[in-house]
């Protein structure tokens, strides 16, 4: 568990003219900070059309950017006795109903008390494959988003799930409460998402971002807001929150991408349905989980006209 990950190699093609190299990569690689990217460029880990360049180098349309991301030392992950609601498990995978407030995997500044730590306690051999920082993790939910997440229990299953996500054959459905009257009652939001140029801690709809699509269906209209079922066709960071905010209907309780007059303990976002092909048998299975009590209370208060 103390070993480092392997070097990652990525290639990107510039889709626009006259954008700084470091800014382009920061939007293409949202998990890396701009300062980290600048260090990689200065250390020769980045090339444009095979030639090294400075962070301020401006790209031209169709330039090919190659980046090598060296492994970083990872401290040993420790099992932690954290309650988990495991709604399905076999020898290949486990499907978890993740509570709000639980981070999926360790990150700088948040080394423990994550879903990974809880999984290590439940499955002692969970750290014997895959990414040493994120064993078994093939997708994620924001810390304050509740609901279904699938994890792999061995390398074969992990690769199978990764392929399913890449082919977009996995179905992920969310319940979301947004501000205002969302119209039309069915729709799709297609807009690229990348780092917000004005605030690197936020995502935004930006022309140089990665393609993203969010489909929605209105379930019912409530006082000054709308309850909708949302399916994401892509898995960009904060995708639903960014897309809904971009069309003027931010998620209720979302302090990062919108302000709400409706009291909510957190962002009203819950992963309620997950459909996958089981890596072991090849069977298609759908899993569901109900809206948690804190979000259910928000709806009850709206129905009673208390907010």
Residue 130 has what pLDDT? 59
Least confident of 218-222, 270-274, 300-304: 300-304
Residue 306 has what pLDDT? 57
Q: How far apart are CA 208 and CA 192, in angstroms?
A: 7
Residue 36 has what pLDDT? 87
Report DSSP state, residue 106. Answer: -
Report DSSP state, residue 103. Answer: B
State the average pLDDT over residues 47-63.
92
Q: How far apart are CA 4 and CA 71, in angstroms?
A: 6
Residue 125 has what pLDDT? 79
The CATH class of the 86-167 domain is alpha beta
Based on the residue annotation, tell me whether 142 is a catalytic residue of this protein: yes
Polymer length in residues for the chain = 307
State the average pLDDT over residues 181-197.
94
The single residue of 22, 63, 142, 254 carrying the catalytic annotation is: 142
Residue 243 has what pLDDT? 98
Q: How far apart are CA 162 and CA 246, in angstroms?
A: 29
pLDDT in tens, 19-43: 899 988 988 887 777 888 999 999 9
State the average pLDDT over residues 160-165.
95
Residue 46 has what pLDDT? 96
Delimit the domains of the chain by residue range: 8-69, 86-167, 173-271+297-303
Q: How far apart are CA 175 and CA 254, in angstroms?
A: 14
Residue 158 has what pLDDT? 93
State the average pLDDT over residues 220-225.
93
Question: Residue with structure tokens 């909708």?
Answer: 228
Q: What percent of the chain has pLDDT over 90?
A: 68
Residue 225 has what pLDDT? 95
pLDDT tops 80 at residue 98: yes
Which phi and psi angles does 198 have, rounded to 5°?
A: -90, -15
pLDDT tops 80 at residue 249: yes
Contact 142, 105 (CB under 8 A): no
Residue 107 has what pLDDT? 72
Q: How far apart are CA 25 and CA 60, in angstroms?
A: 14
Q: How far apart are CA 297 and CA 290, in angstroms?
A: 13
Q: How far apart are CA 6 and CA 68, in angstroms?
A: 10
Contact 279, 93 (CB under 8 A): yes
pLDDT tops 90 at residue 18: no
Residue 3 has what pLDDT? 40
State the average pLDDT over residues 100-124.
86
pLDDT tops 70 at residue 270: yes
Q: Does domain 173-271+297-303 have CATH number 3.20.20.80?
A: no
**Token pair recorded at residue 198:** 């004005």
Contact 201, 186 (CB under 8 A): no
Check for a shared fold between 86-167 and 173-271+297-303. yes
Which phi and psi angles does 72 have, rounded to 5°?
A: -115, 145
Q: How far apart are CA 13 and CA 66, in angstroms?
A: 9
Residue 187 has what pLDDT? 97
Contact 95, 53 (CB under 8 A): no
Q: pLDDT band at 72, cuts 50/70/90?
A: low
Residue 214 has what pLDDT? 97
Q: How far apart are CA 28 and CA 22, in angstroms?
A: 10
Q: How far apart are CA 137 and CA 168, in angstroms?
A: 17
**Token pair recorded at residue 98:** 């993740």
pLDDT tops 50 at residue 4: no
Residue 199 has what pLDDT? 79
State the average pLDDT over residues 198-223.
91
Contact 87, 97 (CB under 8 A): yes
| More confidently predicted of 27 and 182 | 182
Alpha helices by DSSP H, listed for the chain, are 21-28, 34-42, 115-122, 155-166, 239-246, 293-303
User: Which sign does the torsion angle of CA 126, 159, 163, 73 carry?
Assistant: positive
Q: How far apart are CA 147 and CA 136, in angstroms?
A: 17
Q: Does domain 8-69 have CATH number 3.10.290.10?
A: yes
Cβ contacts of residue 243 below 8 Å, gap of 6+?
189, 191, 193, 205, 212, 214
What's the predicted TM-score (pTM) here? 0.77
């Amino acid at each position: 568990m103390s070993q480092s990950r392997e070097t990652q190699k990525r290639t990107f093609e510039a889709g626009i003219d006259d954008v700084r190299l470091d800014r382009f990569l920061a939007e293409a690689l949202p998990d890396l900070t701009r300062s980290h990217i600048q260090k990689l460029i200065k250390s020769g880990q980045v090339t444009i059309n095979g030639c090294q360049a400075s962070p301020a180098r401006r790209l031209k349309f169709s330039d090919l950017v190659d980046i090598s991301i060296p492994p970083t030392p990872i401290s040993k992950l420790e099992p932690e006795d954290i309650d988990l609601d495991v709604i399905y498990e076999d020898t290949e995978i486990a499907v978890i109903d993740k509570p709000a407030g639980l981070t999926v995997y360790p990150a700088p500044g948040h080394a423990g008390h994550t879903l990974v730590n809880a999984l290590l306690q439940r499955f002692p051999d969970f750290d014997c494959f895959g990414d040493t920082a994120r064993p078994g993790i093939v997708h994620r939910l924001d810390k304050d988003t509740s609901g279904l997440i699938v994890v792999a229990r061995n390398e074969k299953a992990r690769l199978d799930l990764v392929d399913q996500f890449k082919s977009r054959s996995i179905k992920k459905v969310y319940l979301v409460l947004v501000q205002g009257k969302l119209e039309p009652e069915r729709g799709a939001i297609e807009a690229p998402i990348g780092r917000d140029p004005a605030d690197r801690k936020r995502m935004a709809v930006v022309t140089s971002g990665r393609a993203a699509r969010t489909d929605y269906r209105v379930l019912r209209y409530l006082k000054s807001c709308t309850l909708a079922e949302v399916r994401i066709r892509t898995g960009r960071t904060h995708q639903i929150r960014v897309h809904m905010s971009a069309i003027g209907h931010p998620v209720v309780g979302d302090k990062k991408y919108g302000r709400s007059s409706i009291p909510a303990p957190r962002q009203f976002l819950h992963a309620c349905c997950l459909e996958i092909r089981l890596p072991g048998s090849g069977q298609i299975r759908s899993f569901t989980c109900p809206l948690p009590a804190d979000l259910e209370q928000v709806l009850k208060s709206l129905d009673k006209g208390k907010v």
